[in-house]
Homo-oligomer: A and B are copies of this chain.
């Protein structure tokens, strides 16, 4: 019988291998990989003694020469050191420091019980392991799934948030459950486009969770959510993005939700050498913005650019009291009624400056930039210095990445009609608008001025407008800083 396939780490004691002579990987590589992984993940701590090579040789039937060769490689990597007459000991690895920083709070958003800044959350997680690349867009860990020290893993969760309520309103008013297919897409893209920012465009496994109130969200809606997920994944695969469904979960939790919460979780592994880390975002680069609106070649219809962030505010600021009276299940009764459905529109009303209705624009499914980023990384990986998905935090999201960077956004794409309508209806300050919404582009590629043309062409190949929307300079004062030019006004934002 083959030995058990996975490592076993005895606690507080010497390390042992699980070597399989029948495995694809040569035994020498198995030893190197298992030791390297155990040290990288802390299963073997600094100073810990390694079982003598003589003992290992006898126990596993491995030639002593193979072990010597393997430990030489580990020594070269700085993972172990030979101690006279005492065999090998583990050398410690430096603790990574946290490079994550976020942005200040906003009032109207907070009054509705939504924190754009997640300050509280960051307090709770401040003590946690920030992963291998603390400055990266997503948390990245050693590849616990396979134990290969050359690979790393990402598991990432997100969802469609309160955008599902817009689908619910549309469904209730029209009877058409197919609108929930867009929500399935929103949930997936909110995940996938975060993953793009660390360099993942392939080998992605996804699971979707639907928490529903079964009295309001029936089988026909579930079906659209489930089949919509499958259909959107198939479409992404058609465009070269390797993303696959591993299943999903549906829970009936009517005491927890009045309608439906649609979340998804993506898992991927990638070579460490392919990771895109926030550290590439430095002064002296240009920022290419990829439009959130228009119609990409891989989209069926025009996209309003709305995405899935800020939808609590957008819904209440644009939609009228008609919905407050008819659908009390779509808002928190604990919120000041003066903030509930305070806008001028019904879903079917025309959106000014657009061919879309207000409902179409609000429900426009979040565009994934995966086909573009995949093409770019396949052809020109080295020119991409950084990627920022302008999700929560909108145009200020970039403040979390790089160090001592002054982001200057002085040539933004035109503001799509949906954001203009939200601002007009809510009188939200422009400064806050840029903190909540993407305002025209939801993906930023950081590269040298010389390479910008190639990024822009890659986007245009897919029918997506792109241009240099700004640049990075050195910030004075030691912190990241952002200037957004809105018409003749300069809006400024500091990293906290």
Contacts and interface: CB of A to CB of B under 8 A. Distances in A.
Interface of A: 4-8, 11, 24-25, 29, 33, 41, 112-115, 118, 120-121, 123-125, 127-129, 131, 138-139, 141, 144-147, 150-151, 153-159, 161-162, 164-165, 202-209, 211, 213-216, 218-219, 222-223, 226-227, 230, 238, 240, 242, 244-261, 263, 265, 267-271, 274, 312, 315, 329-332, 334-335, 378, 381
Contact of A246 (B5, B127, B154, B329): B154
Interface centre among A11, A144, A158, A205 (most CB of B within 10 A): A144
A6 B145 contact: no
A93 to B, nearest CB: 16
Contact of A256 (B6, B128, B145, B164): B164
A159 B209 contact: yes
A207 B269 contact: no
B205 A141 contact: yes
Contact of A113 (B121, B202, B206, B214): B214
A221 to B, nearest CB: 9
Contacts of A315: 255
Given A157-B249, A244-B144, A261 B256 contact: yes
Contacts of A155: 205-207, 246-247, 265, 267
A267 B205 contact: yes
Contacts of A25: 24-25
Given A141-B244, A256-B258, A124 B249 contact: no
Q: Interface on chain A toward B: helix, strand, loop, or mixed SS?
A: mixed
A207 B156 contact: yes
A158 B210 CA distance: 10
Given A147-B203, A156-B246, 10 more contacts: A5-B274, A8-B240, A112-B255, A115-B214, A118-B252, A128-B230, A157-B248, A159-B249, A159-B251, A329-B334
Nearest to A340: B255
Given A157-B207, A256-B164, A145 B251 contact: no
B258 A261 contact: no
B203 A114 contact: no
B259 A256 contact: yes
A5 B150 CA distance: 12
Contacts of A203: 6, 144-147
Nearest to A155: B246
Contacts of A227: 124, 127
A271 B5 contact: yes
A457 to B, nearest CB: 20
A67 B270 CA distance: 27
Contact of A209 (B139, B165, B263, B270): B263
Contacts of A254: 112-114, 312, 332, 334-335
Contacts of A214: 113-115, 120
A310 to B, nearest CB: 12
A219 B139 contact: no
Contact of A211 (B5, B144, B204, B211): B211
A250 to B, nearest CB: 5
A43 to B, nearest CB: 9
B6 A202 contact: yes
A351 to B, nearest CB: 22
A147 B240 CA distance: 16
Given A252-B115, A256-B259, A257-B256, A247 B120 contact: no
B145 A113 contact: no
Nearest to A120: B219
A436 to B, nearest CB: 13
4 closest Cβ pairs, A-B complex = A155-B246, A113-B254, A265-B265, A139-B247
B253 A215 contact: no
Contact of A128 (B112, B141, B226): B226
Contact of A145 (B248, B268, B335): B268
Contacts of A204: 144
Contacts of A269: 145-146
Nearest to A224: B124
Nearest to A238: B11
B332 A145 contact: no
10 contacts: A4-B378, A6-B203, A24-B29, A113-B215, A144-B246, A145-B267, A153-B246, A161-B251, A256-B257, A329-B334
Contacts of A378: 4, 8
B209 A265 contact: yes
Given A120-B222, A206-B155, A332-B215, A312 B255 contact: yes
